Amino acid sequence: MSGGINTWCNARLTPEAKAMLRAGVENHRLSFADESHPEARHSLVAVLAPPPEDAVVAFGQPSPDDVLRGAQLRWVHLSSAGYTSFDRADILDALRARGCALTTSSDVYAEPCALHLLAMMTSLARRLPAAHDNQKGAQGWPFHAARAASSLLEGQHVLLLGFGSIARRFAELIAPLRMNVVAVRRQVRGDEPIQTYPESEVARLLPAADHVVNILPASAATERFLNAGRLALVKRGAILYNIGRGTTLDQTALVAALTSGRLAAAFLDVTDPEPLPPGDALWTAPNCHITPHTAGGHRGEAERLAGHFLANFRRFARGETLLNRIV
């Protein structure tokens, strides 16, 4: 590309990750947005001014409006696994029409999110949260009760709501546990390694699931996807996990399902709103376990983000297929 590829970045990165980017783009141009902007809300995202007019590549979290106004932009690489702000037909169609690619960082977050899910699923089966509560509280020795309440995962049924990079990696991790795993997704592609159904089948699948794993992104179509009606279909004693977005779950209905005992437990890494206010009913709902949107976090996160971008940058420069491509 004549004059090199002009790349603009507003991802909030560590100095080490920035150095990786500078070295990795080699003779191409690279500029970073001002990260001191007061609207920055996430440790790895700076919500800032638009890319410069001559930017060809944007890496981070540019606004869709700014992207559509960027006449020279040919590729947007998001520093997140999700692409909610771009997930509108008019925006995606506009990007296609002008030949601007959109990719995500799904591969960066698949491993930590899948590990987070696995950790909670296995710890609940083996009653580790209850053991921790006992150690910090009564300090008893409930030998017989704890052993009797512990369970095995072999043969249990898992329903994955969504089947992107995180769900795919999670399915790989739990394969040795010999569980029965199925998924639903918006568009079944036919290349899924497990049995996958369209979302319209969810009402049929919920009653058989021992574990309902929600990895749905936020969108108008997924708003309160797990509502009171669908939660009422879940098998009594099942466990619900939400690692997608808080808006996809009716939290009032969840509290009711936990209180009534229909659900044995819930694990939430995402809530609506975030941060979850002190005193919210979820904090004290029976057997509700919450982590503060940390599932994707890991040491070296910024460096892995930079490495993933650079792998895609090399593909872009060579005209090859991009990783985690949406458009």
Contact 142, 168 (CB under 8 A): no
- Containing structural domain, residue 94: 6-104+299-318
Q: Cis before residue 273, ω within 30 degrees of 0?
A: yes
| Angle, CA 67 vertex, CA 66 and CA 71 arms, to 5° | 105
Each residue's pLDDT expressed in tens, for the chain with a length of 327 residues: 446 899 999 998 999 999 999 999 999 999 999 654 544 444 444 555 789 999 999 999 999 999 999 999 999 999 999 999 999 999 999 999 999 999 999 999 999 999 999 999 999 999 999 999 999 999 999 999 999 999 999 999 999 999 999 999 999 999 999 999 999 999 999 999 999 999 999 999 999 999 999 999 999 999 999 999 999 999 999 999 999 999 999 999 999 999 999 999 999 999 999 999 999 999 999 999 999 999 999 999 999 999 999 999 999 999 999 999 999
Looking at the fold, whether 192 and 56 belong to one and the same domain comes out as no
In a domain, 323, yes or no: no
In a domain, 32, yes or no: yes
Question: Which residue, among 84, 160, 91, 75, has the nearest Cα to 121 in the 3D structure?
Answer: 160
Question: Which residue, among 46, 165, 106, 108, has the nearest Cα to 307 in the 3D structure?
Answer: 108
Looking at the fold, whether 141 and 280 belong to one and the same domain comes out as yes
Query: In this structure, what CATH number is given to the domain that contains residue 46?
Result: 3.40.50.720
| Angle, CA 267 vertex, CA 263 and CA 268 arms, to 5° | 120
User: Alpha-carbon distance 263 to 256, whole Å?
Assistant: 9
Pairing of strands 195-198, 75-78: unpaired
* Counted domains in the chain: 2
Which residues sit opposite 32 in a β-bridge? 9
User: Alpha-carbon distance 110 to 81, whole Å?
Assistant: 8
Looking at the fold, whether 248 and 267 belong to one and the same domain comes out as yes
So what's the pLDDT on residue 167?
A: 97
Q: Where are the beta strands (DSSP E) in the chain?
A: 6-9, 29-32, 57-60, 75-78, 101-103, 157-161, 180-185, 195-198, 211-214, 238-242, 263-268, 288-290
First-to-last C-alpha distance (Å) of the chain? 21
In a domain, 324, yes or no: no
Looking at the fold, whether 121 and 259 belong to one and the same domain comes out as yes
In a domain, 325, yes or no: no
So what's the pLDDT on residue 40?
A: 46
Contact 45, 13 (CB under 8 A): no
> Is the pTM higher than 0.85?
yes
Looking at the fold, whether 232 and 119 belong to one and the same domain comes out as yes
In a domain, 327, yes or no: no
User: Alpha-carbon distance 279 to 281, whole Å?
Assistant: 6
Contact 185, 126 (CB under 8 A): no
Looking at the fold, whether 163 and 227 belong to one and the same domain comes out as yes
Which residues sit opposite 263 in a β-bridge? 238
Joined tokens for residue 90: 């008019």
In a domain, 1, yes or no: no
Beta carbons within 8 Å of 128's beta carbon, 6+ residues apart: none
So what's the pLDDT on residue 36?
A: 47
Beta carbons within 8 Å of 33's beta carbon, 6+ residues apart: 8, 9, 10, 46, 48, 49, 60
Question: Which residue, among 126, 124, 60, 65, has the nearest Cα to 91 in the 3D structure?
Answer: 65
Provide DSSP, 166-191: HHHHHHHHHGGGT-EEEEEESS--S-
Looking at the fold, whether 163 and 262 belong to one and the same domain comes out as yes
85 three-state secondary structure: helix
In a domain, 74, yes or no: yes
Looking at the fold, whether 185 and 277 belong to one and the same domain comes out as yes
Looking at the fold, whether 113 and 261 belong to one and the same domain comes out as yes
257 three-state secondary structure: helix
